[in-house]
Amino acid sequence: MGIRIYKLAEQLELSNKELIKMLQDLGVDVTSHMSTINEETAELIMDMVLGEEEGTQEDDSKVLKVEGTMTVKELSEEIDVDPSTLMAKLIGLGIMATINQELTSDQLEVVAAEYGYVVEEEEEEEEDNLFGLVNDIEDKQKDLKSRPPVITVMGHVDHGKTTLLDAIRKTEVTASEAGGITQHIGAYQVKVNGQKITFLDTPGHEAFTSMRARGAQATDIAILVVAADDGIMPQTIEAINHAKSAGVPIIVAINKMDRPNAQPDRVKQELMNHGLIPEDWGGDTVCVPVSALKGENLDELLEMIVLTAEMEELKANPTRPANGIIVEAELDRGRGPVATILIKNGTLKVGDAIVAGLASGRVRAMINDQGERVEEAGPATPVEVLGLSDVPNAGDLLEVVEDDQSARDIAQKRQNKRREDELSRNTTVNLEDLFSQIQQGEVKELNIVVKADVQGSVEAVKQSLQKLSTDEVEVKMLHGGVGGITETDVMLAAASNAIIIGFNVRPGVNARKVAEKENVDIRTYRVIYKAIDDVKSAMEGLLDPDY
């Protein structure tokens, strides 16, 4: 007998999600709060959680603090190991890396361990959080009330995601006899036995994950649509993995059951292969056979959503000022910027001062998914909001702030930051600005990719270039080859901040396009000494701008 996730979570005072995430990080295959784990694993987790609280450091490993990523060079400085020794060690571990290559966190962990370090990821600086919530105060337990679950429908193309979303919306319209005028605002709510459920109208894991990448997790439960006549397909697997990595429980809708060649058991068998064990086969994955086209068995699916949501104990504080996620936004000719917001917490009211991404404003009017004007909107409710100064991006966070002035100030700060980031992203090397980049310490090495019509030129350039290195700048030929300048050369240059020099060869059309987009400096010459001369002058700030 194992232990249910939610029981253990309760014991450890963790949320189901936190616990599931911890287990997944350990490589344990769990998907929902109803999953069971064996006692050994439970003990391990308890040690981890409780041990952490007591602040016990189990071993005497040295700690390597990492903020974001680290290059091989930075790592060598940090752990005081000679770069070439470090690179040899990396090769021994199967990691081919150049000195300026950024190591992934997995690679860092492995190589640091070799030298007796444990990696500790540092929180990014506060400034990076500029786009997060300003007033992210914790709610008091007594203020928390249950809220509707937010659902995203995922699955392979053509398995019936859109049909299912439409069918569910329709059940509601007839049931509420609202006259059938539904607004497509990017999300909608239905009521099942008096309980509300919110559906995001953009199906698929791409939207789900792009929102997550921006720090906005809107979804509480994923509905995985699998066509009974087609089974698990590549995007089904992707959807499973995306939902799992977000720690979101999955309910499977086995769709197209009306088709004569429907094979629900085959679908279940395939689900097992991906770690989702159907409930009726002893697991904890709820599978509901439906026909979205005929509207069959949707009640059951909706009921299962309500049940799963109850287990998740989703709560929010309706009394606080609202925050939410932009689901959709556009510029409407008559109404100005219009954004659909999914309220995450609090209650949004007409008249509230708001910021959303780079935009600010005041809620002038709100319209719900039935097309009705509303004065306020509570947790998990989708509403269209009018009154923003600009069109925010989907996935931006919206927040109510004190007054118009603070809304404007925050938006302004964010705009400045965005501009700075954009500028700093443009510091790719080019010969024109090389000198000033060197002066500002932005460039410590000049990487060069050389392409020529004959091998002899490549060799000759390599020799001459190396002699140009100074104390401040190391000149390095990253790659040299015979032939025209290709897209791959440009991508290499872009990735390693290099310039490209060509002798009697030219870039192709695609290479030129990519170079323009990536800001890669390509120089073509007929004679070697002229190229060397240019690089030398550029390093000394004497390059003739008329080149």
Q: Does 162 count as an annotated binding residue?
A: yes
Q: Is residue 383 within 8 Å of 366, Cβ to Cβ?
A: yes
Q: How far is the CB of 228 from ligand GDP (least distance, A)?
A: 8
Cα distance between residue 488 and residue 507, in whole Å? 11
Query: In which residue are the tokens 């770690």 written?
Result: 275
Which lies closer to ligand GDP via its Cβ, residue 219 or residue 255? 255
Could you tell me which residues come within 8 angstroms of residue 161 by beta carbon, excluding any fewer than 6 positions away?
153, 154, 155, 203, 204, 225
Q: How far is the CB of 468 from ligand GDP (least distance, A)?
A: 57
Q: Does 205 count as an annotated binding residue?
A: yes
Which lies closer to ligand GDP via its Cβ, residue 203 or residue 264? 203
Which lies closer to ligand GDP via its Cβ, residue 114 or residue 166? 166
Q: Does 274 count as an annotated binding residue?
A: no
Q: Does 159 count as an annotated binding residue?
A: yes
Q: Does 258 count as an annotated binding residue?
A: yes
Which lies closer to ligand GDP via its Cβ, residue 55 or residue 260? 260
Q: How far is the CB of 236 from ligand GDP (least distance, A)?
A: 10
Q: Does 158 count as an annotated binding residue?
A: yes
Cα distance between residue 264 and residue 388, in whole Å? 48
Collapse the DSSP code of 455 into the 3-class scheme (helix H, G, I; strand E, B; otherwise coil) and give the result: helix
Q: Does 202 count as an annotated binding residue?
A: yes
Which lies closer to ligand GDP via its Cβ, residue 297 or residue 486? 297
Q: How far is the CB of 218 from ligand GDP (least distance, A)?
A: 19
Q: How far is the CB of 313 from ligand GDP (least distance, A)?
A: 30
Q: Is the Cα dihedral 366, 369, 370, 376 positive or negative?
A: negative
Q: Does 486 count as an annotated binding residue?
A: no
Could you tell me which residues come within 8 angstroms of residue 277 by beta carbon, excluding any fewer than 6 positions away?
271, 283, 284, 285
Q: How far is the CB of 270 from ligand GDP (least distance, A)?
A: 17
Which lies closer to ligand GDP via its Cβ, residue 295 or residue 508? 295
Which lies closer to ligand GDP via its Cβ, residue 170 or residue 259? 259
Q: How far is the CB of 293 from ligand GDP (least distance, A)?
A: 3
Please count the CA atoms within 13 angstroms of the CA of 289 that sit on its side-chain side. 13
Q: How far is the CB of 156 from ligand GDP (least distance, A)?
A: 7
How wide is the angle at C-alpha 449 spanned by C-alphas 444 and 452, nearest 5°? 145
User: Residues interacting with ligand GDP, by CB under 6 A?
Assistant: 155, 157-163, 203, 255-256, 258-259, 291-293
Q: Does 209 count as an annotated binding residue?
A: no
Cα distance between residue 383 and residue 198, in whole Å? 11
C-alpha separations of 416 from 134, 326, 409, 411 in Å: 17, 21, 11, 9
Cα distance between residue 209 and residue 191, in whole Å? 27
DSSP states along 143-211:
G-EE---EEEEEESTTSSHHHHHHHHHHHHHHHHT--S----SSEEEEEETTEEEEEESS-SHHHHHHH
Q: Does 161 count as an annotated binding residue?
A: yes
Which lies closer to ligand GDP via its Cβ, residue 255 or residue 437? 255
- 3-state SS record for 83-145: HHHHHHHHHHCCCCCCCCCEECHHHHHHHHHHCCEEEEECCCCHHHHHHCCCCCCCCCHHHCE
Binding-site residues for GTP sit at 155-162, 201-205, 255-258
Binding-site residues sit at 155-162, 201-205, 255-258
